Structure 1
């Protein structure tokens, strides 16, 4: 457990253990008292109101090149240690601006079209059934370990053309990176783990890429290896980084979305009953969980010039944190924001971002969550909690569970 920060460093208690378990009361206080707030603990400006977060997503003066900001935050020795991680992240489409972002996103757009996603429906459904068949005889399961984690890893692995038996390696390497990207406290051990994860993943991907160049297939790695966009081939690092981004982004959010959805419904039995009576509400239910307990709690930007946000002057080179989890609970945008309503219609949440960096994998994640949740509730109408309080992952950026045990009967 992390040592609490002094009150003058974290006056709103954003990093307290209880706030990491339930950040929404702190978000409400920030929206009311300091909607544009400089956090000494995070060394960043926090935007917590919906209108400010939405405006920030659309503001070209806020750069996504976050890796360039580490030079101001970390000592030279630490930066040198982190070189493999920062080099990989620097070529993620998520962390680039135009024109690099346009080129990289153009290459990926073709792999995540609505048609491609919808064509995966039968395969995703078969995987959900297979995973639930495996746990049904026991009458109990861990929603995370048995369904929410393996399902998206298998799906994204198959898209990339990776062997299913390697999914545990991919998940382990991804988890090493998760700790770094959303850490509540940075430590040398955390840095070392992130480096090990990235180096291992890149070594693995190099072997796969070399094999695909000899024997290309219909998978995404084969297409990326041969892809050309606007007359420019991907560099080796861009190819490695793009594959890493697809692996990471293709499952972490979906795992947390499925877990958060099951937990939210078990905590709100009236809404669970609505969904049981009205299976057609599954689409709006997933959108409501994305708003109500967002699997992505924040995104970060860097100011490329001096600017004003929400009435505050922010100098060039400052980190700005778009607090998505708070924006999605803003009463100025959502009536009764702290109430789970699976029938909610006007639900323009910001979980997948907005503008040029809107999440490419959003349709796939939505489909996986809809099929997983719908099948789970249909097959096991007596679903209920098992054991004590489920264990949340301690992470500032991603909100989900490490485990979520349930009884199926």
Structure 2
């Protein structure tokens, strides 16, 4: 949060940098990405930068792994530098910088502020230890039969919708439905309520974006009010001992509600509501983008699709494919941190306490110093460790679940529809800086009718 100050800082830095410029040269500047860090950051916030940030990332790497852009802001593009910040206790999340006045004005900021996403230790540690107990590798692995069943059911639905070569939107019919089914099963959300969450997640996650002013939070505020009311009712149901469903407390809503009611200090009422909302939204938002981005990469690289089909769903081959999708088209492109300590240094650049850092996850994943030929899609890439789900204290709790869903989905999708292809209508991307994915991705499962 606190990201609305970025645009003003960029404008000020841009004006200062060019305050003493000479008269403009008669010839126009050569085409291509801007060459200074302020211009790169400004362009990343532009419509074209949101559509295709990768040339700008390449320019950022030529400038250096860390660059100041004025107003106490730094852009961090290097893999090692981003990795260092994410792992260091010297940096914290930006939620701590949200003023109480802003929280009172905006329901989205008030709802998300107590969550693990926007909290630093010690509160973050206490909440994460409780919530993380549900996302152990063993528990996630036990979900595979349920995920396989959900995938097959959705593939049946795709086959019906795309019969006779009719185009079908992969995002609406599969990429959204699979992860929302899985996370709602874990949370204990009724089936009848699930379809509404795509709209609500799209609204709430605007609060995670960089924006010019807080008036742009209107969709997020409306979604926050609706989601808070929804989970408030669900929590109340779990607390109703007169219910006839004794297994209710075995789901995540029931388990966290019980932990809150134990009053052991690990979870406040506001934290309970905030984290349930976050788990729902984060539980399918990034996975939806992973599935859509991965399918488009298969369309763009048919040899990778052939190799994945030939591998027959082999665990290592599929895992390597998913890692390369995450590296090339990270669902999370940008995050931010605040310098909490004095005397910090990053790639030789002093970082004063209170500085705000824009971590370009998408750029770090394409750092030529870490990944040779970084723009090439290569599932066989050795030692591939993308930063897409973060590392350190704030590593995504559900990253193992997202990887499992993708590893189950892609081989079964390709096996079921060997002639799967783009429908001829261009896909549309969401107009976002932080979260990168498709709004629509039209496909054909078979050849169109003659």
Give the whole-Å Cα distance in 1 for the aligned partners of 2:86 and 2:142: 31
CA shift at 1:99, angstroms? 1.2
Give the whole-Å Cα distance in 2 for the aligned partners of 1:270 and 1:33: 34
Match of 2:95 in 1: 67
Match of 1:262 in 2: 295
Contact 2:137–2:400, Cα closer than 8 Å, also in 1: yes
Task: Pick one of 173, 180, 183 that aligns with 2:207.
Answer: 180
Other structure's SS at 1:251 match? helix
Contact 1:36–1:46, Cα closer than 8 Å, also in 2: yes
Match of 2:425 in 1: 388
Other structure's SS at 1:347 match? coil
Paired residues for 1:6-21 under 5 Å: 8=14, 11-12=39-40, 13-21=43-51
Q: 2:219 matched to 1:193?
A: yes
Give the whole-Å Cα distance in 2 for the aligned partners of 1:69 and 1:371: 40
Larger Rg computed on CA atoms = 2
Match of 1:324 in 2: 361
Paired residues for 1:69-88 under 5 Å: 69-71=97-99, 80-82=104-106, 84-88=107-111
Contact 2:72–2:354, Cα closer than 8 Å, also in 1: no
Give the whole-Å Cα distance in 2 for the aligned partners of 1:184 and 1:393: 15
CA offsets per residue over residues 50-91 of structure 1, 9 Å max, x none?
110011112211112x223234xx9x5x55421x32222221
Aligned Cα root-mean-square deviation (Å): 2.3
Q: 2:128 matched to 1:128?
A: no
Give the whole-Å Cα distance in 2 for the aligned partners of 1:44 and 1:310: 15
Contact 2:235–2:253, Cα closer than 8 Å, also in 1: yes
CA offsets per residue over residues 282-319 of structure 1, 9 Å max, x none?
12101110111111112211111343222223332222
Give the whole-Å Cα distance in 2 for the aligned partners of 1:236 and 1:184: 29
Q: 2:337 matched to 1:301?
A: yes
Match of 2:268 in 1: 235
Match of 2:59 in 1: 29
Single out whichever of 30-39 and 370-379 deviates more from structure 2.
Answer: 30-39
Contact 1:254–1:365, Cα closer than 8 Å, also in 2: yes
CA offsets per residue over residues 313-361 of structure 1, 9 Å max, x none?
3332222121111111111111221111122231111111111111110
Task: Pick one of 158, 175, 192 that aligns with 1:165.
Answer: 192
Match of 2:77 in 1: 48
Other structure's SS at 1:97 match? coil
Q: Which consecutive unaligned segments of at least 5 residues does structure 2 have?
A: 1-9, 16-37
Give the whole-Å Cα distance in 2 for the aligned partners of 1:62 and 1:333: 23
CA shift at 1:129, angstroms? 1.2
Q: 2:179 matched to 1:152?
A: yes
